[in-house]
Amino acid sequence: MIAALFDPVLRDVVLGSCLLGLVSGALGSFALLRKQSLLGDALAHAALPGVCLAFLAGRSMGLDPKHPLLLLLGALLTAWIGTLGVLAITRGTRLKQDAAIGIVLSVFFGLGIAMLTFLRDVGGASQAGLDKFLFGQAAALVPRDLVVMGALGAAVLGLLVLLFKEFALLSFDAQFGASLGLPIRRLEVLLTSLMVVAVVVGLQTVGVVLMAAMIVTPAAAARQWTDRLGRMVALAGVLGAVSGVSGAVISALARNLPTGPVIVLCATAVLGVSLLFSPRRGLAWAAVRRLRNRRRVRLENLLKDLWRLGEMDGRFERARAISDVTAVRGAARADILRASRDGLVALEGTGLRLTTAGASRAGRVVRNHRLWELYLARRLELPQDHLHRDAEDMEHALEDDVLEQIDEALGRPSRDPHGRPIPRGSPL
Amino acid sequence: MTPPRPPGASVGGGAPSPDASAPTPARTRETPPAPPPALEFHDLTVAYHTKPVLWDFDLAIPDGKLVAVVGPNGAGKSTLLKAALDLVPLVSGFARVFGRPYSEVRHRVAYVPQRESVDWDFPASVLDVVLMGRYGRVGWFRRPGRADRAAATDALREVGMLELADRQISRLSGGQQQRTFLARALAQDASLYLMDEPFAGVDAVTERSIIALLRRLRDGGKSVICVHHDLQTAPDYFDWAVLVNMRLVGAGPMAETFTHEKLQQTYGGRLGILEAAATRLLKNTEGAARPR
């Protein structure tokens, strides 16, 4: 990566993709929070005809038709018109925003493709590298592209920092902002314009087709890691830059790989890691918690079965044949071993016995179960055959203080609705 | 004791009563320049697309009252607040806050929108949200300063949320969310508080603490106007009522306004099931009317 900075071509690629990721990640955070991610998609597609128009206009006026400033200005223009189109459709008709976005996206993209094909036939378009606007080609970035992208990107980020507080309020509670006297409509237009610029900055690197991913993905990934807006915006920029750089470098080294898709794949990988492993929201941790919980339920059921065997002859301290215990609900070997390691049961030859700790834990589960059954029967007047299934789940979930309240409310009963004793204290 | 009759509590559609339009009503005998009403509407009509929401509203709410805006769903209660705040386009008429256009007295007004109107999964802490109440004073391009933080902290203490200041707002209960919004309004340090259903979806304990807070505000000389849904509690909680069903059905001190007849008018045929409740309310109202 360091060496890349000394190779002029790679340096441009890295800088360009870094810029793209920074700007689209930061702006994308606001788009995501305002539930306007798809708007980014529409205006990226709407930029394509603008690029072609600018190329045509530049050529007919004798300017350099390949100059990035010209092409990006064209892109800005039609992307803007597309945005206004979405606004006009949602305000002026009964169509909702999703329909408006669908219409604008496909119409402008269709127009863009038609113009691109036309220009290819007339000649010049492929030499001019207009095709790169479709899927992006970071390797084709030259220094003057970077100057234009850098200037636009800096302007966008600068405004974002200056108006951060206002944009935050606009995104969270626009009505309240309006009641404070903020020009909400104008701020909305400005924020959307900044998004248009952010999209245009990334076009040459990622291309119109996949630009939306750079708006959504880094922002969604950043949201996983933090609960503060400022940090989210900064982190989305960083994650966007990392995805941009790694994608661009991979595609530049591999040749023949279009940059856009590779960058998007990198961003998606970042999102995948974030979704799975971010501290509070991570799905992996949730899965681990579920697994632990299930294991605890199996363990408590094993102890409970031992208890019930003890209840039959009143000899809780006796060892029971493992086959008798597993017969009840097929407790797994691993569960028995774990219980014995935790000191809740003792293994004696082929027998299994509750330890003091195990007995008190088992007694608690049985008490939970029977108190809950009694509560359902008395308070909700559920019939007897409806009690067990529910108690089977609740016995593992009831908190001690809730149970204490239930116990008190029922007058510290000694028998459950089926006449079985409600255990209090350890029999050992 | 009920204070002297407020000037210009004009009721019903049509032309405003002479009281409402006259600058100094004949009936006032005390200090000559009567304070302007906290909130008044003249000839107000609001429509969404072509459907009228509020029709021909003439109303003046005196300063220093705890006011309930009551009416069935879709009666235009929230719109009434938004009309006062310049948040909806008016078809005709105008609103005045302390006798001035809203844009001139913005800093004296605080707004509590409905709790459901925002996404509580937004990445912000409780303190961040409360600080938004100061944005009107902070000014463009600047960050809230020490004084703003102090005001926000005081507001959080006032609603009993100080220890939750750093909590992410998605991890708040409904009552805590509501109190966060109230703190944001308190941080605005206003004279008039407009609240859209401050009791919606909160538990009984929170409801009691909120009403205590509103009373403290009123006793401190502020005006509080709330959209309120619970007919049962309205007579106990509020001094004044505004009954709305697209038109203004009635407005005035609770005991005179919250009558069976007027509620019937407000809720139309739908009051049928509420009949029993309304009779009970009447009894409550009579009780509340007597000096305590």
pLDDT digits (tens, 9 = 90+) for B131-154: 999 999 898 888 999 999 999 999
Interface predicted TM-score (ipTM) of this complex, two decimals? 0.82
A92 touching B (Cβ < 8 Å): no
A187 touching B (Cβ < 8 Å): no
Question: Hey, are the CB atoms on B87 and A178 less than 8 Å from each other?
Answer: yes
Q: Identify each DSSP E strand in A253-372 by its residue range.
A: 320-321, 345-348, 351-354
Look at residues A279, A303, A330 and tell me which one is the last residue of a structural domain.
Answer: A279
A339 touching B (Cβ < 8 Å): no
Per-residue CA distances from B243 to A81, B11, B282 (Å): 46, 10, 15
Is residue B45 in some structural domain? yes
Which residue of chain A has the CA closest to B134? A180
A250/A334 same-domain check: no
Q: What is the pTM of this model?
A: 0.81
Provide the pLDDT for residue B26: 47
Convert the pLDDT of each residue in B212-271 to its tens digit. Answer: 999 999 999 999 999 998 888 999 999 999 999 989 999 999 999 988 888 888 887 555
> What percent of chain A has a predicted confidence (pLDDT) above 70?
95
Provide the pLDDT for residue B275: 54
Task: Report chain A residues whose CB lies below 8 A from the CB of B141.
Answer: 162-163
Across the interface, of A173, A178, A226, the residue whose CB is closest to B123 is A226
Task: Report chain A residues whose CB lies below 8 A from the CB of B129.
Answer: 172
Provide the pLDDT for residue B32: 60
Determine the structural domain holding residue A124 and report its residue range.
3-279
Neighbours of B222 (CB within 10 A): 21
Beta carbons of B242 and B251 less than 8 angstroms apart: yes
A28 touching B (Cβ < 8 Å): no
Per-residue CA distances from A171 to A72, A168, A174, B145 (Å): 28, 5, 6, 22
Instruction: Judge whether residue B23 has pLDDT over 60.
Output: no
pLDDT confidence tier of residue B24, bands split at 50, 70 and 90: very low
A66/A170 same-domain check: yes
Is residue B197 in some structural domain? yes
Is residue B283 in some structural domain? yes
**pLDDT mean over A193-211:** 90
A273/A295 same-domain check: no
User: Mapped to the 3 state alphabet, what secondary structure does A357-396 carry?
Assistant: HHHHHHHHHHHHHHHHHHHHHHHCCCCHHHHHHHHHHHHH
Question: Hey, are the CB atoms on A33 and B82 less than 8 Å from each other?
Answer: no
Question: Hey, are the CB atoms on A176 and B132 less than 8 Å from each other?
Answer: yes
Beta carbons of B225 and B193 less than 8 angstroms apart: yes
A62/A130 same-domain check: yes
Convert the pLDDT of each residue in A213-263 to its tens digit. Answer: 999 999 999 999 999 999 999 999 999 999 999 998 888 788 778 888 999
Determine the structural domain holding residue B86 and report its residue range.
34-113+191-289
Give the CATH number of the domain where residue A382 resides. 1.10.10.10
A289/A274 same-domain check: no
With b for 16 or more beta-carbon neighbours within 10 A and e for fewer, the A94-119 pattern comes to eeebeebbbebbebbbebbeebbeeb
Q: Residue A263 belongs to what H/E stretch? A: helix A259-277
Interface of B with A in 159-218 (CB under 8 A): 168, 170, 184
> Which residues lie across from B253 on neighbouring strands?
B240
B106 touching A (Cβ < 8 Å): yes
DSSP 8-state symbol, B134: G
Across the interface, of B87, B123, B143, the residue whose CB is closest to A227 is B123
Provide the pLDDT for residue B13: 40
pLDDT confidence tier of residue B10, bands split at 50, 70 and 90: very low
Is residue B62 in some structural domain? yes
CA distance to partner chain A, nearest, from residue B126 (Å): 11
Task: Report chain B residues whose CB lies below 8 A from the CB of A166.
Answer: 135, 140
Convert the pLDDT of each residue in B176-205 to its tens digit. Answer: 999 999 999 999 999 999 999 999 988 888
A151/A300 same-domain check: no
CA distance A274 to A228: 16
Question: Hey, are the CB atoms on B136 and A223 less than 8 Å from each other?
Answer: no
A129/A214 same-domain check: yes
Is residue B149 in some structural domain? no
**pLDDT mean over A161-186:** 95
Beta carbons of A167 and A191 less than 8 angstroms apart: yes
Q: Flag the least confident range among A45-49, A135-139, B256-260.
A: A135-139
A177 touching B (Cβ < 8 Å): yes
* Backbone phi and psi for residue B58, each to the nearest 5 degrees, phi listed first: -125, 120
> Which residues lie across from B39 on neighbouring strands?
B61, B97
Place of tokens 């300017």: A63
Chain A contact probe: residue of B87, B142, B184 with most A CBs at under 10 A = B87
CA distance to partner chain B, nearest, from residue A46 (Å): 29
CA of residue A390 relative to chain centroid, distance: 34
Look at residues A279, A313, A334 and tell me which one is the last residue of a structural domain.
Answer: A279
Number of domains in chain B: 1
A232/A352 same-domain check: no
CA distance A248 to A16: 9
Sheet holding B66-70, edge to edge: B109-112, B192-196, B223-227, B66-70, B240-245, B247-253
Look at residues A229, A260, A279 and tell me which one is the last residue of a structural domain.
Answer: A279
Is residue B41 in some structural domain? yes
A238/A299 same-domain check: no
**pLDDT mean over A362-366:** 90
B73 touching A (Cβ < 8 Å): no
Is residue B130 in some structural domain? no
A162 touching B (Cβ < 8 Å): yes
Convert the pLDDT of each residue in A302-336 to its tens digit. Answer: 888 888 888 888 888 888 887 777 766 666 778 88
Across the interface, of A163, A165, A223, the residue whose CB is closest to B123 is A223
CA distance B99 to A16: 57
Give the CATH number of the domain where residue A237 resides. 1.10.3470.10
Number of domains in chain A: 2
CA distance to partner chain A, nearest, from residue B273 (Å): 27
CA distance to partner chain A, nearest, from residue B286 (Å): 38
Is residue B154 in some structural domain? no
Across the interface, of B113, B124, B184, the residue whose CB is closest to A229 is B124
A244/A390 same-domain check: no
A232/A353 same-domain check: no
> What percent of chain A has a predicted confidence (pLDDT) above 90?
42
Give the CATH number of the domain where residue B280 resides. 3.40.50.300
Provide the pLDDT for residue A241: 95
Provide the pLDDT for residue B149: 96
CA distance to partner chain A, nearest, from residue B209 (Å): 24
Cβ-based neighbours of A313, under 8 Å, separated by 6 or more = none
> What percent of chain B has a predicted confidence (pLDDT) above 90?
64
Report, in angstroms and rounded to the nearest whole number, the Rg of chain B calculated over CA atoms.
19
A373/A421 same-domain check: yes
Question: Hey, are the CB atoms on B123 and A179 less than 8 Å from each other?
Answer: no
B243 three-class SS: strand
Q: What is the mean pLDDT of chain A?
A: 88
